[in-house]
Structures are given as structure tokens and as C-alpha cells.
């Protein structure tokens, strides 16, 4: 399959590396010039679950690449999705498929402005990747072959056939991938998790373990999730609020090995003073609530507080 990875951050590079290694025709598209040049000059270094590898893969600035591809896998930051699609709209022909593996809510709205819904596939992944050294191009790491789930957005035999083919292709590359029939549920579930852990740990400058020890935090998390569920239900997705609360709380447990980690939003904003994805999590719930006249006070306040922190830290 001929695949373009749109957004070659740590996640895009990790997927690109796996897919290329398995024999697919893969290119990386990114706006970071040093990164693109270094990949082309000396290959992409990848620490693949502990093994050091180098993949020789072509990288381009988005506007410099014009070949027809079967599939674009979107791996930008949520905030950059729209502007990146603008830069690659020449690649999004009538029959080019687009798989979006971004965190957060509301991306289909954006994607639909650039391609037919029939071409769109949504997915969720539990892989987490990072640049091995901050600011060093062409060198990424990921620590587990986490599972990916994908599904077509518009139901049709052809969409299902191609969706299964994408899933098979990713799976064959060594990243377990399943074609599912409830991807929206999975997207909302992950958004609930991030809308609680990312946002609250960022506001309070806390890791997940400590967050979980705060008095009445479960009541707050439950309240945030109730509002997510109210908006999800307007989109035909049913979330079990109690089950979801337990799921989110499980990330704060002593028994969860990653509980002492600071979530990615905390790293982005508090450490690196970068703008957050809150508008695709709590901010999405808050905005849809206003549009639909559904009260979402917890998410309203969380959204304003995270944006407040962005303003105070002069995040860019």
C-alpha cells in the first residue's frame, strides 16, 4: 500500500517506520525542515521497543510531495490538523483514503472539509512515542507494540473492505490492529480519560498518582464524565458513566505502573509552554454544550483554566 504519513512527529515516525519496515511504500510529510533533511540524509533512528534501528524512508515538506497515495495517515497535533490538511489538499483526491489517529473530539468536522466522509477512517491507538532527545531531529522512541483500532466513518461494503485492508496492513507491520464496529465509543472513552487526567494534572501541576489522592477528586472526575456522556449521547454514543469513572480512576492507582507520570498535556504546557489540545477534549464538550443548550459547567471551567494557564505561561 502506498502511504503518506501526514505529520511526522514521534507517533507518525513510529508508525511510518513499522509500515516501511514491513515493505509498504511509505513517505513522511512534515514541516520541520531539519527533521526532514536529517531523515533523508542519514535515515530515521527508531528505538523500537528497546531495539535501536534505522529506517531509510523518504521525507518531504507537505507542499513538496505530489505523488498519488492510497492512504494518508494523519498524525499531526490536533491544533495543526486544519492547516496541515490545507497544505496537503492536493493529495486528497476523490479516492484517497484518510485515516485519523489523533486524540480528541471533533476531527471529523475538520477532515470533512477536505475529503468525502466516505474516504475517512477514524482510529484510536494506545502506542505512545517520543523524540528520543528533545529537539533532536530524526530520532524517535516507542516502548510498546500497543493496539490500534480503526473503523470507517460512512457505512458501505467498499469502506468496510478497505478498512479491513488498512487494519491488516498495520497489523502485518507488527502493531496489533483491529477493525472494529464501535470506534466512536473508543474515541470518546480515550477523550474522557484525557479530558480528566491531562486537564486536571495540568491545572494542578500533578502526576496521576497524586491527583488520585486529592479529596473528592472522584466526584469531580465523575461529574466531568457525566457531561462528556451527555454530549456523546447526542451523537448516538452511550457511555457507562460509572464504568468510565472507574476506568479513569484506575490510572491514578498505586498498582498502575504509569501513575507517577505527568500526562502529555502537562509536559506540553507546564514544561514546554506549548498550547494544549484542550479544545478537542473538555473544550469540545463545552462548545457543543453551548450549541445544544446542555449545561457543562465542569468542562467550561476546566477549559477556561487550561487556556488561562496557556495565557499565563505565554504558551505557543
Integer Cα distance of 200 and 219 in angstroms: 13
- The least CB distance from residue 283 to its own copies, in Å, is 11
Task: Using the rule CB under 8 A, give the single segment among 55-63, 84-92, 229-237, 293-301 that binds its own copies.
Answer: 293-301
Integer Cα distance of 130 and 108 in angstroms: 25
Is 226 marked active-site? Answer: no
Task: Answer yes or no whether residue 206 interacts with its own copies by CB under 8 A.
Answer: yes
Please name the residues in contact with 17: beta carbons below 8 A apart, sequence gap of 6 or more: 44, 46, 48, 53, 55, 57, 140
| Cβ pair 189, 244 in contact under 8 A | yes
Among 49, 214, 253, 292, binds its own copies (CB under 8 A): 214
Retrieve residue 251's grid coordinates. Answer: 490510572
Integer Cα distance of 95 and 303 in angstroms: 37
Kindly identify the residues of this chain, within the stretch 217-256, that bind its own copies according to CB under 8 A: 217, 219-220, 223
- The least CB distance from residue 230 to its own copies, in Å, is 13
Task: Answer yes or no whether residue 298 interacts with its own copies by CB under 8 A.
Answer: yes
Rounded to 10 degrees, the C-alpha dihedral 198/237/123/7 comes to: -50
Task: Answer yes or no whether residue 300 interacts with its own copies by CB under 8 A.
Answer: yes
- The least CB distance from residue 298 to its own copies, in Å, is 6
Among 210, 241, 275, 315, binds its own copies (CB under 8 A): 210
| Cβ pair 163, 150 in contact under 8 A | yes
Q: How far is CA 218 from CA 122, 194, 265, in A?
A: 30, 15, 20
- Select 187 or 196, whichever has its Cβ closest to its own copies: 196
Among 58, 147, 164, 307, binds its own copies (CB under 8 A): 307
| Active-site entry in 190, 226, 246, 260 | 190
Strand-pair partners of 177: 148
- The least CB distance from residue 235 to its own copies, in Å, is 23
Task: Using the rule CB under 8 A, give the single segment among 62-70, 108-116, 165-173, 213-221 that binds its own copies.
Answer: 213-221
- The least CB distance from residue 194 to its own copies, in Å, is 18
Place of cell 462548545: 287
Q: Is 215 strand, coil or helix? A: coil
> What is the CA angle 40-5-162, rounded to 5?
140
Retrieve residue 255's grid coordinates. Answer: 498498582
Task: Answer yes or no whether residue 215 interacts with its own copies by CB under 8 A.
Answer: yes
Among 205, 242, 243, 254, binds its own copies (CB under 8 A): 205
Binding region for its own copies (CB under 8 A): 203-206, 210-211, 213-217, 219-220, 223, 297-298, 300-305, 307-309, 311-312
The residues carrying an active-site annotation are: 190
Amino acid at each position: 500500500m502506498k502511504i503518506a504519513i501526514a505529520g511526522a512527529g514521534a507517533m507518525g515516525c513510529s508508525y511510518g517506520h513499522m509500515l516501511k519496515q514491513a515493505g509498504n511504500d511509505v513517505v513522511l510529510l512534515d514541516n520541520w525542515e531539519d527533521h526532514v533533511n536529517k531523515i533523508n540524509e542519514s535515515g530515521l533512528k527508531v528505538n523500537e521497543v528497546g531495539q535501536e534501528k534505522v529506517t531509510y524512508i523518504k521525507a518531504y515538506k507537505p507542499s513538496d510531495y505530489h505523488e498519488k497515495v492510497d492512504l494518508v495517515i494523519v498524525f499531526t497535533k490536533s491544533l495543526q490538523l486544519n492547516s496541515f490538511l490545507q497544505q496537503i489538499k492536493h493529495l486528497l483526491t476523490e479516492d484517497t483514503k484518510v485515516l485519523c489517529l489523533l486524540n480528541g473530539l471533533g476531527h471529523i468536522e475538520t477532515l470533512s472539509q477536505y475529503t468525502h466522509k466516505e474516504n475517512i477512517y477514524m482510529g484510536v491507538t494506545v502506542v505512545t512515542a517520543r523524540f528520543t532527545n528533545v529537539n533532536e531531529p530524526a530520532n524517535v522512541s516507542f516502548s510498546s507494540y500497543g493496539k490500534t483500532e480503526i473503523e470507517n466513518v460512512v457505512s458501505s461494503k467498499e469502506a468496510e473492505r478497505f478498512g479491513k485492508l488498512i487494519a491488516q496492513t498495520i497489523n502485518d507491520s507488527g502493531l496489533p490492529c483491529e477493525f472494529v464496529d464501535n470506534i466512536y465509543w473508543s474515541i470518546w472513552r480515550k477523550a474522557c480519560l484525557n479530558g480528566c487526567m491531562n486537564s486536571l494534572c495540568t491545572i494542578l501541576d500533578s502526576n496521576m498518582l497524586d491527583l488520585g489522592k486529592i479529596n473528592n477528586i472522584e466526584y469531580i472526575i465523575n461529574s466531568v464524565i457525566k457531561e462528556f456522556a451527555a454530549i456523546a449521547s447526542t451523537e448516538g454514543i452511550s457511555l457507562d458513566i460509572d464504568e468510565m469513572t472507574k476506568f479513569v480512576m484506575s490510572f491514578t492507582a498505586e498498582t498502575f505502573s504509569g501513575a507517577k507520570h505527568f500526562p502529555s498535556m502537562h509536559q506540553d504546557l507546564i514544561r514546554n509552554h506549548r498550547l494544549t489540545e484542550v479544545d478537542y477534549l473538555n473544550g469540545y464538550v463545552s462548545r457543543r454544550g453551548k450549541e445544544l443548550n446542555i449545561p457543562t459547567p465542569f468542562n467550561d471551567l476546566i477549559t477556561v483554566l487550561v487556556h488561562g494557564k496557556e495565557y499565563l505561561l505565554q504558551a505557543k
